[in-house]
Structure 1
Amino acid sequence: MSDMTQDPKPGALRHLPLLVILVVAAAGAFTLRDYLSFDALRDNREALIAFRDANILLTMLGFVAAYIVIVAFSLPGALIATLTGGFLFGTLGGSALSVTGATIGAVIIFLAARHGLGEKLKARMDASQGTVRKVKEGIDENQWSMLFFLRLVPVVPFFVANLVPAFLAVPLHRFAISTFFGIIPGSLVYSSVGAGLGTVFERGETPDLGIIFEPHILLPILGLSALSLMPVVVKAITGRKTL
């Protein structure tokens, strides 16, 4: 009798975190663009500096918390947040705080996606045949390489790199480690831009946010991306399974 009256709520609750993230992300895309922007940072820079000088620890914690929310809910403004971190805490300090907040936020959305849909998708892919199964097996055999590649390549949207591993049932520790270390190069670049915003503001200019595509910056990042794929290449050549 109990089997016939099984409560359907657990299935609905399983999807609730992901649904909340999607709703907040959609709402934030339309309502927060004016608040999480370069103009907002420029107009409020003196207030931010004054608050930081008076409450340095609180400012650091607040910054990390804000970054977690931005990433976890896929809100617009992650780039501006990284610039703000560099502006307030310098290149190294801002990058460290940005990477910490981004990693925690990424883990949150990863867990929500995996809890809501990842297990079902994994089961379907495991049961599938042909091309889908081969792609799944290829990713499983080279998870570290593929995870670092997703993080290092500048053209891969951050939220995509958060969701895909969740749907492929990547272990949490691999996702967290590859996220933390994989986003460091890009974070350092934009934090350094943020650290120089004081001069940019004084000149009334706009920072060059396309700096990451400059050859002297892009080529080393692409080099790291290629290095992350070396185990895949070695496996293809030797036919041996990589770790």
Structure 2
Amino acid sequence: MDVADKVQTASSTTTTTTTTTTTSTAEPVTATLTLRNGRLDWEQILQDQPDQPQQELLPGTATSHQKQTMSADERKATKKSLVIVAAIFVASVATMFYVYAIFPELNESEKQHLKIPRDIQDAKMLAKVLDRYKDMYYFEVMFGVVVAYVFLQTFAIPGSLFLSILLGFLYKFPIALFLICFCSALGATLCYTLSNLVGRRLIRHFWPKKTSEWSKHVEEYRDSLFNYMLFLRMTPILPNWFINLASPVIGVPLHIFALGTFCGVAPPSVIAIQAGKTLQKMTSSSEAFSWTSMGILMFCACASLLPGLLKNRFKHKKEA
């Protein structure tokens, strides 16, 4: 009986210590010095009081253990996903080499310009080379530009603006507009798929604030998400690569994302195509966007939001 009483007394003392620690965060050392059964009591308190900050309850014990377990599972799944993404990237690069291999024979001075343009000068030189072979190898040239465009969009690599201007230079307006919208939608959809496969945890880790803010906007415009996607594609509020990567994380449906991208990139593409008609006279890509064109673009963007704003207003009136 004496031994049992001592054990019961020790257990009561441990419980009292942990209870005192939960009500006061001034003694974090008490928590780290408790026995294992004390830690188990802390885990129960964390479950019973989810609203209380975990850092105040017990930093480095139950919460960190839970994170380590989840991280191990996520790390294993992420590795598998990264292998798939790497395989897709290798296949894409192989496709680019295939396009290069089936392209007409070029002389040495032309080969150095057959690359993805990084500035307006690269776009000018590439335009001269492609324009020379476009009539004789019409579909080969078109296929090469399309594959390069989709590749850039899929892996969120900058440079698609120069390809949009290049398409405006090479082809008539309707063909160039369709090609740009198609390539943008297809590449963005593939980027969406890759992000959905492997990028969820990375997006939340590297851009938590921006993702959280955009999630609130998406929920606000949930009933008119297509119009909101149009607005985002027409304005530089969020970069296109971030929209592509973050959309699956915050719950934008794929069909709305793809259709919104196809239609939303049309107004900016019109400006790029018009710039392509004067490509050889341009000295900078910024010349493509005049104050007039930017004003028209902003008007179209605001107009795309109008149905959603009216819908939300009527909805609030009904609820009131």
Shared fold by TM > 0.5?
A: yes
Counterpart mapping for 1:80-119 below 5 A: 80-118=162-200
- Would you say 1:209 and 2:286 are equivalent positions? yes
What are the Cα deviations for residues 128-181 of structure 1, in whole angstroms up to 9, with x where unaligned?
A: xx9998555324333222211111114431112212322112111111100000
Q: 1:43 to 1:224 in 2, by over 3 A?
A: closer
Partner of 2:130: 48
Question: What is the alpha-carbon root mean square deviation over aligned residues?
Answer: 3.5
Worse overlay, 105-114 or 42-51: 42-51
What is the one-letter code of the residue matched to 2:132? A
1:37 counterpart residue number: 119
Structure 1 pair 211–63 and aligned structure 2 pair: CA distance change class (3 A): closer
> Is the contact between residue 166 and residue 276 of structure 2 (CA under 8 Å) also seen in structure 1?
yes
1:10 and 1:148 map into 2 onto residues whose CA distance is: 33
Give the secondary structure class of the aligned counterpart of 1:96.
Answer: helix
Alignment of 1:1-243 (within 5 A): 10-16=77-83, 35-118=117-200, 135=217, 137-198=219-280, 200=281, 205-206=282-283, 209-215=286-292, 217-240=293-316
Q: How far did residue 59 of structure 1 move?
A: 0.9
With over 3 angstroms needed to count, the CA separation of the structure-2 counterparts of 1:15 and 1:167, relative to structure 1, is farther
The count of residues paired between Structure 1 and Structure 2 equals: 214
How far off its partner does 1:99 sit? Answer: 1.7
Contact 2:81 2:197 in 1 (8 A): yes
TM-score, normalised to structure 2, is: 0.57
Task: Give yes or no for contact 2:117–2:163 (8 Å, CA) kept in 1.
Answer: no
Misfit runs of 4+, over 6 Å: 19-22, 119-122, 130-133
Say if 1:40 and 1:147 are closer, same or farther in 2 by CA, change over 3 A.
Answer: same
CA drift of 1:209 comes to 2.6
Residue 189 of structure 1 and its aligned partner are, at CA, apart by 0.8
For residues 164-213 of structure 1, the C-alpha deviation after alignment (integer angstroms, 9 at most, x for no partner) is: 32211211111110000000111111111112224x1xxxx525634434
TM-score (norm 1): 0.73
Contact 1:197 1:207 in 2 (8 A): no
The sequence identity of aligned pairs, in percent, is 22
C-alpha distance 221-143 of structure 1, shift in aligned 2 (>3 A): same
Asked if the contact 2:195/2:246 (under 8 Å) is kept, the reply is no
Higher-Rg structure is: 2
- Cα distance, 1:95–1:143 mapped onto 2, change above 3 Å: same
For residue 25 of structure 1, what is the aligned residue in structure 2? none
Residues of 2 paired with 1:99 and 1:116: CA distance? 26
Query: Is the contact made by 1:99 and 1:184 (CA closer than 8 Å) also made in structure 2?
Result: yes
- In structure 2, runs of 5+ residues without a counterpart are 1-72, 90-114, 205-211
Cross-structure match for 1:3: none
Greater relative contact order (CA < 8 Å, ≥ 6 in sequence): 1
What letter corresponds to residue 190 of structure 1 in structure 2? A
SS at match of 1:167: coil
